[in-house]
Structure 1
């Protein structure tokens, strides 16, 4: 296996940014959903609010997982799914200031999406996506028998 690059240097260089985007997506999404449920839908019965919030969290988790899976498979366009997710989290969070939420919860709801956008925009994340696209092209060429 002389010509095969090792996985360890790649993971050491790019895993923190990759997992940071996933964690920011999970924490930012759940925080935004929680804040929206407690402000916009405060008058809704608790059982209904909890059920709807649970389904929204499930959908958000599936979306974050699928987007990052596609990034790992070398589809660079899937990064825009995460960017859109973080922007939606911010757009849900920002108007809740009118309901005067707790300052820590509100700042946390702003922090995670902004951190995710910062990580996506970092040079290391861009290099990682470029390398994953290169691996996908090599995989497709090997499938084609070239």
Structure 2
């Protein structure tokens, strides 16, 4: 196990990257799902229900994937990566639908930034270190 000094070093190095990836994915999923459903099903009577259910599914995938990632499972990243991918596809489908250009640029930038964070060297190091810690705990 880690000593307190090692734990603080680990947290100081990797925790901001972990939180950045989590919150950017969360924000991109929430914004994309909300705007996509409001654009495509504007007058549908179950619009709020669809918005809540799609956001809940994306957030559930995101939270369970990050929890598994913290526990050191190697497959966890494949639970998280569909969330920004789906958010990016939803944002791309909004091109030409009359959504504000600045908002559309934000919707396109957030999932791309999330994918960039997950592909960064520091995030890879963190995942590798968490897998090593899982092997040590066994």
Range into which the TM-score falls when normalised by the shorter chain? over 0.9
Count of paired positions: 137
Structure 2: gaps of 5 or more residues: none
Paired with 2:79 and 2:108, the residues of 1 have a C-alpha distance of 18
1:43 Cα deviation from its structure 2 partner: 2.8
Map of 1:26 onto structure 2: 26
What TM-score comes out, normalization by structure 1 length?
Answer: 0.87
After TM superposition, the score normalised by the length of structure 2 is 0.92
Cα distance in 2 between the residues matched to 1:92 and 1:43: 19
Partner of 2:77: 79
Give the superposition deviation at 1:98. 2.4
Q: Which runs of 4+ in 1 moved over 6 A?
A: none
SS at match of 2:94: helix
Contact 1:93-1:106 at 8 Å conserved across structures = yes
Where in structure 1 are there 5+ consecutive unaligned residues? 141-146
1:1-146 correspondence runs (5 A): 4=3, 6-45=6-45, 48-140=46-138
User: In 2, Cα distance between the equivalents of 1:114 and 1:83?
Assistant: 11
Structure exhibiting the larger radius of gyration computed from Cα positions: 1
